[in-house]
Amino acid sequence: MGPDVGVLVVGAGACGLAAAITAHDAGADVAIIEKLDRPGGNSALSTGSVPAAGTRFQREAGIEDSVERFIEDLIRKGGPTDCPDLLRRLVETSAETVEWLVDAAGARMTLVTTYKHVGHSVPRLHAPVSRRGQDLVDDLLAAAEKRGIPLAVGNGARTLVSDADGAVIGADIETSNGERHRITARKVILAVNGFAGNRDLVARFCSEVSGAQYFGARGSTGEAVLWGEQLGAALGNIGAYQGYAAVADPHGSLLSWTTIEKGGIIVNGAGRRFGDESAGYSGYTPNVMAQGGPCFAIFDQRIFDVTAAEEEFVELANYGGVKKADTAEALAALHHLDGVAVAANLDDYNKAARGETPDAFGRRDFALAPLTPPFHICRVVPGLFHTQGGLMVDIDGRVMRPNGKPIANLFAGGGAAAGLSGRTGAGGYASGNGLLSAIGLGRLAALAAAREIAGATA
Ligand SMILES: Cc1cc2nc3c(=O)[nH]c(=O)nc-3n(C[C@H](O)[C@H](O)[C@H](O)COP(=O)(O)OP(=O)(O)OC[C@H]3O[C@@H](n4cnc5c(N)ncnc54)[C@H](O)[C@@H]3O)c2cc1C
């Protein structure tokens, strides 16, 4: 008797769904298992933004872009990487990935031209009109359903099963009511995301953000890394992560980074600035983390008005997360901060913004600053969105051993695999790196898995 299924996809976020649809369209018999009671994972929580260079959507908008330019942007932002070949391959296939999403998977994606994207020198993010990752996930789910691909929710893989030669031959599953069973497969694609929801692994690999509030989906508990270590897989870019420097506290929603990008600052509990906020919402996370307690974003009325175009920001302000005062001292008093320190720091910053002195922390992008009264303040804490490191894979998503040989039949993509944001830290994350790896590598892994199956049966 043969295996139960040709390709077993573990995890039903963007990576798993893209992989399953691609494997099916390439002629493989495929099934998806999902640990939680609903699919979507972090992909559903994201803004659904996928970067690509050279798409027809960019050409229609008159935007010139190229593979080399995209690669340069990623390397400038991310620095050294453990997997340069993978980065190149994902960029080279990025236009194809986004066009496939629209043409084959029926996803309703458009090119985003209205806001600045962290790390990109030209507009290249493609996202649902709503900017809700849930819409992207819904479109992928509809495409999978249309093809009759089975998706079993409430079925978590507990462990991978290998044969005597170390080749993966399936997975042991536990259902949400505690029943256990085994699914055998010719190929297994791990699409289980990273380990941001696993405190021990975060402390081990991303210690600078250990203890930050986790802001992603419940399912990201690091099984890919744990199973990979058991099977002798290599890990890549394992210290890299995406953080968020300004989670409104105690509200738990995100304070829009527009408030900072447009010229706002962040002070600590002593009322003092502590770095160059233009490092970006992810890159500035360790700076906020290092303050050891809540910090305070400060911006002015003009910035408030610009940001008021964003629904989530208005909601936060309506719930009292953003407070207003006419002077620096009165603003400080709203959070029991040292008014003299806040006023002095604002003065220094405004001098730099006016070009009178260099900024003490090297900030050069001041947008609407100097800040003028009335001012607004929001208490913030750092958050962790997702981890960017994972299993070392080749350019087709095959999971590799430290000796450069693949673990037979095992593939990984998205947050389960080594990412595109450099080796370590929060500063290397460029917008969309997560979903490009999820959808792009999910597809490449599925194509390779289907090819291997066809090759073996030819
Ligand atoms: C608030 C927020 C905003 C973001 N915005 C963006 C953005 O705009 N663009 C971007 O590129 N990235 C963004 N990211 C990151 C992005 O969401 C992730 O990088 C991407 O969704 C990863 O996709 P994935 O398919 O690998 O994982 P997921 O979408 O998380 O899917 C993994 C699935 O596997 C399941 N699973 C886990 N373990 C098992 C198991 N043992 N057995 C079976 N199933 C399992 C999980 O429950 C989950 O459903 C954002 C993240 C957050 C938290």
Do 396 and 445 form a contact (C-beta atoms < 8 A)? yes
The response to whether residue 215 sits with its C-beta less than 6 Å from ligand 1 reads yes
Pocket test for ligand 1, best of 126, 193, 195, 201 (most atoms within 8 A of CB): 193
Residue nearest to atom 42 of ligand 1 (CA): 156
Pocket test for ligand 1, best of 435, 441, 443 (most atoms within 8 A of CB): 435
Q: Say which residue the tokens 């001041």 belong to.
A: 366
The response to whether residue 385 sits with its C-beta less than 6 Å from ligand 1 reads yes
Return the ligand 1 atom nearest residue 137 CA: 29
The response to whether residue 387 sits with its C-beta less than 6 Å from ligand 1 reads no
CA 33, 449, 195, 203 dihedral sign is positive
| Tokens coding 181 | 């069973």
The response to whether residue 191 sits with its C-beta less than 6 Å from ligand 1 reads yes
Closest of 120, 102, 16 to residue 433, by C-alpha: 120
Spatial separation of the C-alpha atoms in residues 124 and 389, rounded to whole Å: 23
Residue nearest to atom 49 of ligand 1 (CA): 41
Do 91 and 67 form a contact (C-beta atoms < 8 A)? yes
Residue nearest to atom 11 of ligand 1 (CA): 432
Residues in CB range of 239: below 8 A, 6 or more apart: 205, 206, 389, 423, 424, 425
Angstrom CA distances, 360 to 246, 275, 289, 375, 391, stand at: 21, 8, 20, 21, 40
Spatial separation of the C-alpha atoms in residues 339 and 331, rounded to whole Å: 8
The pLDDT value recorded for residue 316 is: 95
The pLDDT value recorded for residue 262 is: 93
Spatial separation of the C-alpha atoms in residues 231 and 217, rounded to whole Å: 26
**361-396 burial: b if 16+ Cβ within 10 Å, else e:** bebeebbbbbbeeebbbbbbbbbbbbbbbbbbbbbb
Helix, strand, or coil here: 49? Answer: coil
Residues of the chain short of pLDDT 50, as ranges, are none
Return the ligand 1 atom nearest residue 43 CA: 21
The pLDDT value recorded for residue 187 is: 98
The response to whether residue 13 sits with its C-beta less than 6 Å from ligand 1 reads yes
The pLDDT value recorded for residue 458 is: 64
The pLDDT value recorded for residue 210 is: 93
Which backbone phi and psi does 259 adopt, to 5 degrees? -60, -30
**307 C-alpha to center of ligand 1: Å?**
27
Pocket test for ligand 1, best of 225, 386, 421, 437 (most atoms within 8 A of CB): 386
The pLDDT value recorded for residue 47 is: 87
Helix, strand, or coil here: 339? Answer: helix
DSSP H or E segment with residue 450: helix 442-457
**371 C-alpha to center of ligand 1: Å?**
37
